[in-house]
Amino acid sequence: MKNTLLLILVLLSLNVCSQDFISSKVSFKDTILDENRKSPFDYVDPFIGTGGDGHTYPGAVIPFGMVQLSPDTDMKSYHESYNWCAGYQYGDSSIIGFSHTHFSGTGHSDLGDILIMPTAGKLRTKSGTKNNPDLGYRSRFSHKNETASPGYYSVKLDDYNIQAELTATNRVGFHKYTFPKTDSAHIILDLLHSIYNYDGKVIWSSIRVENDTLVTGYRQTRGWARNRSVYFAIVFSKAFDSYGFDKDDESMYGYRKTDNYIYEKPEVNGKKLIAFFNFKTKEEEIIEVKVGISAVSAEGALNNLKTEIPTWNFNKVKLVAENQWQKELSKIIIEGTDRDKAIFYTSVYHTMLAPVNYMDVDGKYRGLDQNIHTANDFTNYTIYSLWDTYRATHPLFTIIQPEKVSDMVKSMLAHYDQSVHHILPVWSFHNNETWCMIGYHAVPVIADAYLKGIRNYDVEKAYEAMISSATYENYDGLDYYMELGFVPIDKENEGASKTLEYAYDDFTIYKVAKEMGKDDDFKKFENRARNYKNIFDKETNFMRAKKIDGSWNEPFDPLYSKYGGDYTEGNAWQYTWYVPQDVQGLINLMGGREKFVEKLDSLFIVEAHDEKYHEVEDISGLIGQYAHGNEPSQHIAYLYNYAAMPWKTQQRIHQIMNNLFDDTPYGICGNEDCGQMSAWYIFSSMGFYPVCPGSNEYVIGSPCIEKATINLDNGNKFEMTADRLSEKNIYIQSVKLNGKNYDKSYITHDDIINGGKLIFRMGRKPNKKWGIKNADLPYSMTKAGAQ
């Protein structure tokens, strides 16, 4: 779908009924198409990030959709599956099938629910191996026969000469398979298939063949999520001639068995259910399959299916999906090179693949307490990769998705209500808390929204939930933290990182408490926000893990990292900078700006010693010790601003942009992480970044695109222009905001939301005088100049 004009014409001729579609405010022709007559949509390449450590998937999905229908190329065991977190790796040459749920960009995984695969010829009910696809039903494919665009994916399955096309609505995956002429066409339904697979992951599953076009059931897994069920309803466009099951099923009761299969058994329960449905097809005969999913019940899944896709019109569903993307992708329009646009718009695309809708069309959803709840006044969202996304993804949403921000807060408050711990989500998805990563970073997400004036939820309850999360003694050493002011490493692993991140989270409570007039709390949390100081070692000039007796953890090697060590997916070099709330305080600890900058320079230079953290897969995208591929580093390049040397930030930003992003499948240097890496790119390419959510500031870096226009929901526009930007003109010479010279090295949220024009004048040499006065530096708890 590369020709948008054609798309529009087709759309107009189809009388598509979706309200989303009809009510679209964007006039494609006038607003979206660029000089190449291409829209943002046309530049999105879902393959970006599908190679290497990006962990994105190329499949079909709508913005924030419950269904992520995508090909899986491998199903690795628990300990080997890092590379296949999204089910797909660009380097693979065979496809197992198409499953309906995926994480975008994560470094831990699960999902891959309800895999469907069309085959022809000899029936195979095991998936086979990458080395020998012929052992199973998987098929070879090549990228030349594979296309992907927002809401659509297509591939030719070479082993079977079947063309597979996918599209989706919110809760329904739509498969279109074009078969060759054959007496033995099959559609496989594999409920054993799973991302992050291991023996025993499927707790139980059930298939009911309701009639010769409708199949329902569920599967329940104990993966990363320990208590997760996906119910499904599958409708075929053509009645199957016969059906059966792989005999390895632990079945409920025995029917007559023939050869290796069990036939015509309309209800099976087991842990290894793999079903097949047989057809005869004519040359180029199309069989379509709609798969509704639900966390509530099979009834809910069928209701979702019938409501969202009542008819058989693949193209119409695809066009509705594409239009939803057009609308979302038009929220920021940029000018720049084709490469810029590909990376930028794909980044925007990637920020809208999580959180995802998690409720049925009737508003019912399964809560963290496993009970069925109804979301009466909000859209319930799930997949909160908060350790990643509180940094830039959620702040981006405050700009381009303000309505969804309130719903996300409401979803997190529902989680809080349903939590037996009475705390906000940590890393949650599909009504499960995984307890993955550290911190209580739902707190800065809510605080950031609140402080920016997004308050369409129960603010008192939100406040209560933040306090409750920050004071839950049983959580990850919080009891010690509250008593001692740091998390002692001999009592709780990763104590150094936890201390730093708690202190930042506490800062955001301090800001909210102050705003809300909670006098007692704000002082308490203001103090807690300075707890980072308790683990700064003046001798080594690093943040370090401290023991309960106050001594440092030994031996100490600032390069060393391991899971469960002193730091979280990082080392002392990377974590020492984690004081976004008080960079000036850190500068002071380090002995002033000069020493701070010297050390910061070193970060980008100290040689990487891969063997020092070879176990920590997440540390990637290295420049010296700076690891752009993982979150703890992602704010660091902006810290020069605080030391009044913004030109060094400008230089580093361009270095990162040029070296660690490209528009190929391998173009994301580390886990995309549910939009965080992309949000970093979106902000940074526009020239500013939310170093410290909760401060309402965006620290100015250096723009990497010529122009960006943010079309705000309130009708305002915020335009960024980078005059004279070129490969060499990477340094800010001067800035104008709304026509006036602007010397601060940050802008505020209001500056954006109120609309306006931000003009950077770029040049080849640094302007070392811009943005360096104390009054012009970004926010720190400690005032610049003070000790």
Site for a second copy, rule CB under 8 A = 203-204, 206, 208-210, 216, 218, 220, 222, 226-227, 252-253, 255, 264-267, 269, 297-299, 369-372, 420-421, 435, 474
Q: Which is nearer to a second copy, 253 or 775 (CB)?
A: 253
Q: Smaller CB distance to a second copy: residue 227 or 748?
A: 227
The two three-digit tokens of residue 733, written as one number = 């010479």
* DSSP code per residue over 384-402: EEHHHHTTTHHHHHHHH-H
CB closer to a second copy out of 332 and 368: 368
Q: What is the DSSP letter of 630?
A: S
Whose Cβ is closer to a second copy: residue 222's or residue 455's? 222
Which lies closer to a second copy via its Cβ, residue 267 or residue 662? 267
Query: Using an 8 Å Cβ cutoff, are 258 and 276 in contact?
Result: no
Q: Report the residue number, 421 or 736, with the smaller CB distance to a second copy.
A: 421
Strand partners, 197: 77
Tell me the closest approach of the beta carbon of residue 14 to a second copy, in angstroms.
35
Short-list 532, 519, 508, CA closest to 445: 508
Q: Which is nearer to a second copy, 222 or 257 (CB)?
A: 222
Q: Supply the minimum distance, in Å, between the C-beta of residue 270 and a second copy.
A: 8
Shortest approach of a second copy to residue 220 CB, angstroms?
7
Closer CB to a second copy, 269 or 406, in the complex: 269
Neighbouring C-alpha atoms within 13 Å toward the C-beta of 163: 13
**Residue 266 identity (one-letter amino acid):** P
Cβ at position 252, least distance to a second copy in Å? 5
Nearer to a second copy, 373 or 404 (CB): 373
Least distance between a second copy and beta carbon 200 (Å): 9
3-state secondary structure of 338: helix
The Cα 66–Cα 354 span in angstroms is 9
Q: Are 752 and 710 in contact (CB under 8 A)?
A: yes
Whether the Cβ atoms of residue 232 and residue 210 lie closer than 8 Å to each other? no
Q: Find the shortest distance in angstroms from Cβ 491 to a second copy.
A: 9
How far is 495 from 535, CA to CA, in rounded Å? Answer: 9
Shortest distance (Å) from residue 502 CB to a second copy: 18
DSSP 151-209: TEEEEEETTTTEEEEEEE-SSEEEEEEEE-SEEEEEEEEESS--SSB-TT-EEEEEEEE
Please, which residue, 26 or 372, has the CB nearer to a second copy?
A: 372
CA 58 to CA 147: how far, in whole Å? 9
Q: Which residue has the tokens 């090549």?
A: 142
> Judged by CB, which is closer to a second copy: 214, or 737?
214
Cβ at position 367, least distance to a second copy in Å: 9
Q: Judged by CB, which is closer to a second copy: 472, or 681?
A: 472
The CA-atom distances, in angstroms, between 575 and each of 281, 569, 578, 731 are 60, 9, 5, 27
**Pairing verdict, β 97-99 and 536-537:** unpaired
The Cα 171–Cα 309 span in angstroms is: 10
Amino acid at 720: M
Smaller CB separation from a second copy, 263 or 556 = 263
> Does residue 703 contact residue 685 with C-beta atoms inside 8 Å?
yes
For a second copy, the closer CB: 280 or 421: 421
Tell the burial category of 60 from Cβ atoms under 10 Å away from its Cβ (0-12, 13-18, 19+).
Answer: buried
CB 440 within 8 A of CB 423: yes
* Calpha distance 131→626 (Å, rounded): 37
Q: Which is closer to a second copy, CB of 118 or CB of 217? A: 217
Mapping DSSP onto H, E and C, the string for 693-747 reads: CCCCEEEECCCCCCEEEEECCCCCEEEEEEECCCCCCCEEEEEEECCEECCCCEE
Type of residue numbered 33? L
Nearer to a second copy, 322 or 476 (CB): 476
Q: Give exposure, 93-106, as e/b (b: 16+ Cβ within 10 Å).
A: ebbbbbbbbbbbbb
Please state, in angstroms and as integers, the Cα–Cα distance from residue 722 to each residue in 276, 344, 732, 744, 757, following that order. Answer: 57, 16, 9, 17, 11
Q: What share of the chain is helix, strand, coil (3-state, %, to 5)?
A: 30, 25, 45
